[in-house]
Structure 1
Amino acid sequence: GEIARTIQSISGVKAARVHIVMSERANFRRDEQQPSASVVIRYAGVDAEKSAQSIRHLVAAAVPGLSADKVTVLDSNGNLLAAGDDTSNTSAARTLGVEQTVEAQIADNIRRALTPYLGPDNFRASV
């Protein structure tokens, strides 16, 4: 529809598909399902993650009651570009999280390997 055409007008975005799930109102339910959206883009020569953040806000602004954190953006290969909270799903944040996990695992492996030989308090492992 119109939202997909607008997304395709963004520089570097070659194609876009937008799927919107509107909120359901039920007479006997207290909690109303919030609207959500999924966007799949095919792009070339552009920072897709920056575009993904812009696309999330564009879609959220176009759909009544939809917040940007309820918009998921994927590329045509199925790679997640943006979802949930903006700050926790950036590429840099994901990379940092993986890096910290690997560092902790390596430090733990060093401690386990050296503790029998040096004792638990006779060395420091830093990665």
Structure 2
Amino acid sequence: MMAALCEDGTYGLNCGRKSDRISVLHVKLTETAFKALENYQNCKNAPSSQAMIRFQGLQGRIKIPTIDASNGCHNFDFYLSNYGKDNPQGSFECIHQYISSSGVPHLSSLGTIQDKITICVTNDSCQVTKDV
């Protein structure tokens, strides 16, 4: 999910991090994982359970509740890798866009992206690719 900046817009810029307890990750979703997350976010009658992410070393799982009556979950396994190792020619900064209390658009640095989460392909992802 991304926000767009206006071409002729003017933004304040904050370069200080709000907290050293923030971890900034680049997340690469499959189409199936993106759709499941999008459906969950857009659901007016959201399931009572919450989406969650669990890390186990350099692997993990994201659980996104389904929006139908089955009370099930979409499970997406992932692996974690170091961004610098995968992309030694550059680094990426995570920027938060918001409107200040005075109504002025601001950009604030949350930190340098150190790690990348890559969602593993599921059978659903393969079927979506085949159907296209």
What is the TM-score of this pair, normalised by structure 2?
0.20
Larger of the two Rg values belongs to structure = 1
Structure with greater strand share of residues:
2
**Bigger RCO of structures 1 and 2 (CA < 8 A, at least 6 apart):** 2
